Structure 1
Amino acid sequence: MLLTIRHETIYHYTEELTYTIQQLRLTPRPEEHQRTLNWHITSSGVRNPFTDAFGNLSHMLTITGRHNEVRIVAEGSIAVTPLYLGRLPQTGAVSPLVFTVATSLTQATPTIIEFAHRHLSRNPNSEDLVTLAQAICNAVTYQSGSTLVTSSADDALRLGQGVCQDHAHLFLACCHAVGIPACYVSGYIDPGNSDHAESHAWVDVWVAQSDFTGWVSIDVTHACFASDAYCRLAIGRDYDSAAPVRGVRRGGGEETLSVSVHVSAKALSLSP
């Protein structure tokens, strides 16, 4: 699949800022099944590239001097090959054990532990993981604006509503409850005919089956395996460690955030 993506983020402020620093994870990951054809990030200020501890291609953006707005645009084209049952062709440079550590957003509370034991075994196969995703969708209805980026997996389960990052956090918490490595994935999706956002979050889960050992990518919100309709930006332990844009500022007063993401997809042409 050929994905053409444009992602614009604009921060507006009621007062002038004197300093902004943002960590950007807005560059597609270099992975075997996805190839960046072209990609460009536009912003004011200075961007210094680096690769973080999880292998995510990142930038540190700093803006000095007086300003009332921060505008960041990331855009380009990605060629993505299909995944069989969500199986990723690479195991990655980071040990799966790194992704057994809970965070404040993915902590397995007693309620989550009970939920996990009802819906997940200690050695699940790929189909079991999709069944868990469906159980999470049944327990936490997709509702835009119902939670915050600071909401935990337990918050979403108690509320019974959430968005894609809440589904991902709850899935990770369930996996941690039974000792299964799982990580958070941020990126983009061609939403097709659904009303879900094109900026998306899902999970990778480590499985050990008779015919495959490695990472399987699961879209919890849609209760399905990830496919060639997905572009991977970053992985981490939770939203905080894989967020596309995070930062701090000096001054600015009240902040208003505007985000626009557009993803279009078409079939890749095969060489004769």
Structure 2
Amino acid sequence: MKLKIIHETSYRYDQPVRGLVQSLRLTPSAHEGQRVGDWSIAVTDGERGAAFRDGAGDWIEAWTVRGPVDEVTVTISGLIETRDTAGVLRGHRETINPLVYLRDTALTKPDAALRELAQSVSGEDALDLAHKLAAAVSEAIAYVPGVTESVTTAAEALALGQGVCQDHAHALIACAHVHGMPARYVSGYLHSNADGTPHDAAHAWAEIHVGSLGWVGFDAANACCPDDRYVRLGSGYDAQDAAPVRGTTFGSGEESLDVRVQVEEMEQEQ
């Protein structure tokens, strides 16, 4: 599938700030399931700094904006070709040992209820267990936008029984950890839901390290593994660690945020 992506994030301040520094994880991962074509990142009045590929295989760029400024827009546009690898992350170069992803964070730490949910599931092998854990999370947490926040933990989402893709990913990571399986949070884009409904926002899912297969993606929010509708940006311990945009603002102005994402399928060349 050939996809065109436009992603705009606008930051507005009620009074001018002296400037800001941002770390952007906004270039799609390089692996067998996707090939990046033309891809550009622009920051209003920004200066591009150092760029590097980290140990997890993600491309990171530093940007600086010198103020005074009351609005900054980060714009990403590009083309990418994807193919279905049944969720298996092949050909992705990274140097971090998967065992580091056994680490819990404040957002993924399992409580008694998450442990009970995880332990209620068993599988014939690691892959079967991972699939069943994803199904259990999907059933336990209904997809309901607007009921949780960015700081909602996996335990809180499970207690509520509702949440969004971030909550499903955090809960699945927590359940995988209960079984001693490395798991991590993945940020990216989704062209459409399983029923064909266009998806007009950034998306997230989890990856679980499954024996010789390595990393395998599981989207509990949509009860499936990532296929050619998905574009993988980067990964981390949780949503905060894998955030596509991280940064520091210098000034006392109150910040407001507006995000627009458009993922469009392009016609294939004959």
So what's the TM-score if we normalise by structure 1?
A: 0.90
1:259 and 1:99 map into 2 onto residues whose CA distance is 29
| Unpaired runs of at least 5, structure 2 | none
| Unpaired runs of at least 5, structure 1 | none
1:103 and 1:91 map into 2 onto residues whose CA distance is 24
1:65 and 1:164 map into 2 onto residues whose CA distance is 35
Mapping of 1:1-272 within 5 angstroms?
Answer: 1-43=1-43, 44-48=45-49, 49-83=51-85, 85-90=86-91, 92-93=93-94, 94-121=96-123, 123-126=125-128, 128-192=129-193, 193-194=196-197, 196-208=199-211, 213-266=213-266, 268-269=268-269
- Give the secondary structure class of the aligned counterpart of 2:26: coil
- Between the two proteins, the alignment pairs up a number of residues equal to 265
2:48 and 2:138 map into 1 onto residues whose CA distance is 38
Residues 102-152 of structure 1, C-alpha deviation per residue, up to 9 Å, x if partnerless? 1111111222111110134594324x4333223212221212222221211
Change (3 A) 1:46 1:91: closer
* Structure 2 letter corresponding to 1:100: L
| C-alpha deviation, 1:264, in angstroms | 0.9
1:258 and 1:165 map into 2 onto residues whose CA distance is 18
- Give the secondary structure class of the aligned counterpart of 1:184: strand
Contact 1:122–1:179, Cα closer than 8 Å, also in 2: no
| C-alpha deviation, 1:197, in angstroms | 4.1
* Structure 2 letter corresponding to 1:105: L
Change (3 A) 1:194 1:130: farther
So what's the TM-score if we normalise by structure 2?
A: 0.91
2:222 and 2:208 map into 1 onto residues whose CA distance is 16
| C-alpha deviation, 1:53, in angstroms | 3.3
Contact 1:229–1:265, Cα closer than 8 Å, also in 2: no
Residues 46-103 of structure 1, C-alpha deviation per residue, up to 9 Å, x if partnerless? 12222233221011121122000110000100011221x3222236422211211111
Change (3 A) 1:249 1:161: same
Change (3 A) 1:216 1:267: farther
Change (3 A) 1:61 1:91: closer
2:238 and 2:122 map into 1 onto residues whose CA distance is 20
Change (3 A) 1:62 1:76: same
- Give the secondary structure class of the aligned counterpart of 1:89: coil
1:135 and 1:32 map into 2 onto residues whose CA distance is 29
Q: Percent identity?
A: 39
2:200 and 2:177 map into 1 onto residues whose CA distance is 27
2:138 and 2:88 map into 1 onto residues whose CA distance is 22
Contact 1:32–1:89, Cα closer than 8 Å, also in 2: yes
1:57 and 1:130 map into 2 onto residues whose CA distance is 29
Change (3 A) 1:135 1:75: same
- Give the secondary structure class of the aligned counterpart of 1:215: strand
1:266 and 1:195 map into 2 onto residues whose CA distance is 14
